[in-house]
């Protein structure tokens, strides 16, 4: 299921990040990441919910 990041939020320390994603079927989900000092700046996936976090209804 392809996704597209629609918003990326991080804390003031820039060591936590949440990406809000939109799925191909118009549902939304999120991915939470952390950045550890010993990780050389890379992001580690902490958790994610990619299926039907919120479904938008289309007006006809």
Q: Domain limits at 48? A: 3-54
Query: Quick check: is 27 in a domain?
Result: yes
Provide the pLDDT for residue 41.
74
> Per the domain annotation, does 43 fall within a domain?
yes
In a domain, 37, yes or no: yes
Sign, CA dihedral 36-41-45-47, equals positive
Question: Which tens digit of pLDDT belongs to each residue from 19-39?
Answer: 999 888 888 889 999 998 887
Q: Is residue 47 part of a domain?
A: yes
pLDDT tens string 1-22:
578 999 999 999 999 999 999 8
pLDDT at 58: 54
Q: What pTM, to 2 d.p., does this model score?
A: 0.74
In a domain, 60, yes or no: no
Query: Looking at the 3D structure of the chain, how many domains does it have?
Result: 1
Q: How far apart, in Å, are the Cα atoms of 2 and each of 5, 34, 40, 43, 59?
A: 10, 22, 28, 20, 24
């Amino acid at each position: 299921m392809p996704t597209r990041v629609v918003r990326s939020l991080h804390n003031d320390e820039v060591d936590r990040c949440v990406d809000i994603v939109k799925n191909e079927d118009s549902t939304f989900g999120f991915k939470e990441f952390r950045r550890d000092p010993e990780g050389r700046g890379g992001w580690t996936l902490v958790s994610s919910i990619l299926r039907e976090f919120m479904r938008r209804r289309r007006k006809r």
